[in-house]
Amino acid sequence: MFAYLSAGPIALCATILATAGAYADHPIFLQEYRVLPAHSVIHQTGGFAGVDVRYRLKGEYDLATGFDEGRRFAEFTRAEITGLNRSLSTVSDSIGALDVDQALNLLGLEGRFVPLGLSHNVWEFSGQSGDDSSVHLLAAQRGPWMLLRGVTTPPPGSADFFQYNVRWLARTGPSADMNGDGAVDAADYTSLRDGHLDGGADIALWRSQFGEQADIAELDGMMDAAWAAKSGVASGAGVPEPSGLVLLGTIASALVCRWRRTRA
């Protein structure tokens, strides 16, 4: 009889833990972002010749976010971002261009949630580039906007390695910000009127978004808070969401009551 009574709570706990693991995982959420050139730069320094070049960024990327065994993650699943060297690309953007994914290994980075207690998401991306330099990026999401900042660090004892310092602002979803300056204004209407439909926008969308402006100061503030708290980044949330715990508690209570009635 003692063995039977002990097996009940043990089985119940096993059921709850198994359910917790399953409940903590959610479908992956995929977002497509367009980089805004007016606010996006990568600075390349170092190398044998002492390179010092700033590239203006343009392009698109996809960001996937979700849960894996209860832990929130993020990863780049597509990165078509080009750095344009304006001093060399007067004839063609391809002249002197920098492949940002190749420089930072964006598709190979691991993204983790930074638990800052904010109402918006902050992520840390880390990994290694193709030359074994360490890559450390932080990204803040607020509404349709995403601000990313970060650096690369050459391996200890290395020489003649490039180093990168990157900052970009991007937006997801249809946007009437045709010139990529982070604001929807009269200048964008002129581009739309003249048929420059780079962002997939139309006049109706421009009217609905007129006056929209990226709150870069707030995004920068989120980034500053993330940098200050990065020592706690590795301890990301590894438990089910609060709503999941409530549900599991309800299930557990019902199972306990049913087990007691059966024994009575």
Query: Exposure string (b/e) for 2-39, b if CB count within 10 Å is 16 or more?
Result: eeeeeeeeeeeeeeeeebbeebbeeeeeebebbbbbeb
What angle, rounded to 10 degrees, do the helices at 2-24 and 242-263 form? 160
Average of per-residue pLDDT across 133-160: 91
DSSP 154-184: PPTT--S-EEEEEEEEEEES----TT-SSB-
Alpha helices in the chain (DSSP H): 2-24, 100-104, 186-193, 203-209, 216-228, 242-263
pLDDT for residue 230: 67
Instruction: Please state the pTM of the whole predicted model.
Output: 0.70
Q: Is the pLDDT of residue 17 over 50?
A: no
Average per-residue pLDDT for the chain: 76
**Boundaries of every domain in the chain:** 27-174+219-235
pLDDT for residue 200: 55
What is the Cα–Cα distance from 248 to 238, expressed in whole angstroms? Answer: 16
pLDDT band at residue 116 under the 50/70/90 scheme: confident
What is the Cα–Cα distance from 54 to 57, expressed in whole angstroms? Answer: 9
Closest-CA residue to 209 (of 138, 145, 158): 145
Q: Is the pLDDT of residue 7 over 70?
A: no
Alpha helices in 25-149 (DSSP H): 100-104
pLDDT for residue 241: 38
The residue with greater pLDDT, 194 or 84, is 84
- Region of poorest pLDDT, from 32-41, 71-80, 89-98: 89-98
What is the Cα–Cα distance from 46 to 153, expressed in whole angstroms? Answer: 11
pLDDT for residue 227: 76
In this structure, whether the domain defined by 27-174+219-235 belongs to CATH 3.30.70 is answered with no
Token readout for 242 is 């609060």
Average of per-residue pLDDT across 229-249: 42
Give the containing element (helix H, strand E) for 148.
Answer: strand 145-153
Question: Residue 253: helix, strand or coil by DSSP?
Answer: helix
Helix, strand, coil percent content, the chain, rounded in steps of 5: 35, 35, 35
What is the Cα–Cα distance from 192 to 206, expressed in whole angstroms? Answer: 9
What is the Cα–Cα distance from 76 to 207, expressed in whole angstroms? Answer: 32
pLDDT for residue 242: 38
Cα 201 from chain centroid? 24
